[in-house]
Every structure is written in structure tokens, then in C-alpha cells.
Structure 1
């Protein structure tokens, strides 16, 4: 697949974002709010990386390049959407743990 580098960029960054979001929740649960905020920041940065990879692909498509949509691309997009949703929820959990503390 010609766009495998883009696909892998999305998958790796999205996975990193989701892992960091999980770590943020775990830190907040322990009352480690500075660490939780740091992990949320890292999750956001990883999402930006994933979006850059995605934007590269979208730019090529907008320029008329045929983009192959295969199982890897679908998998990458699934990872990205899950990571975005999970990071959004992690932010809410961290805020909730702060209020409970």
C-alpha cells in the first residue's frame, strides 16, 4: 500500500494518545493531578501528530491523487476516532477526580 507510512503515523500516534489518556485517568485516580495534566497534554500532542498524518493524506486526495482505502486505512481511522473520544473522556475524568479531591 502506497500510503502505509501515513497509515502507520495515524495508528502509532493515536495509540500513543489513547495510552497517555489512560495514564492520565490512573494518575488522577491516585490524586497525582500534575502528572494527569502532563499525560493529557501528551495525549493532545499525539493527536496532533495523528491529524498531521491524516491531513497529509487528505491533501493528496484534494490534489486529485487516488487514495487507496483498504483495511489498514480503515483500521487507522478507527484508532484515531477512538483515541479522540477516549482523550475527551479522560479530560472529564480528570476534572471529576479533581472535584472529588
Structure 2
């Protein structure tokens, strides 16, 4: 069994990376770089999958009777994961909004500024 503290730290790292990539996707969409925004969303999805896999491993260990001590670090890791998941969902929505705004501007023949 992998050391649980290492798995918990991996959860924090991957979730944090996912959130950062999601934020970069929003910044790219705001600058009308939708290709970069979509690439950053792909990166965020890959990182969130790594975080989720780590969480699943911890849950599997728990189900097998290898209980993880409830610590502030574990709570922090779960908080990071939930925040990253929410942030990723919101980033996808914001990219859609920025994209729709650009489509409307193009249809109207204005740059909106």
C-alpha cells in the first residue's frame, strides 16, 4: 500500500494543477484565444482525472479496512478537489459565454468595444 500521506499530497497537487489550468483557460477565452482555452481545459481534465484516481485509491483502501486517519491535511485535500471540480465546471461555462459573445459580435459586425 502506498503511503496515504503521499497520496493525499498527490491529491492536493493534481487538484491544484487542475484549478490553475482551468483559470488559464478562462484567461485565454477572455483574450479570444479559444484554441488555447480548450487546450487548457484538456489539461485541467487530465489533472482532475489524476486527482480523482488518487481519491478513488484512498476510498478503495478505506473500503478494504485500511482506514485513513482524518487529518487537517486530508480535509484540505478534499477541499482542493471539490473546489477544482467546481472551478472546472465554471471555466467551461465561461468559455462558452465568451465564445457566444464573440459569435454575436461577429454577426453584428462589431468588436463590442
TM-score range, shorter chain: over 0.9
Give a deviation string over 1:36-79, Cα, whole Å, max 9, x none.
00000100110000011111110111111121110000000000
Structure 1 unaligned runs (5+)?
none
Higher relative contact order (CA 8 A, sep 6+): 1
The two structures have a TM-score, normalised by structure 1, of 0.97
Shift of 1:17: 0.4
- Give secondary structure in 2 for the equivalent of 1:65: coil
**In angstroms, what is the RMSD of aligned CA positions?**
0.7
Deviating above 4 A after TM superposition, structure 1's stretches of 4 or more consecutive aligned residues are none
- State the match for 2:71 in structure 1: 70
Match of 2:25 in 1: 24
Give ranges in structure 2 of 5+ residues lacking alignment.
103-113
Which one has the largest radius of gyration?
Answer: 2
Give the alignment's TM-score, normalised by structure 2: 0.87
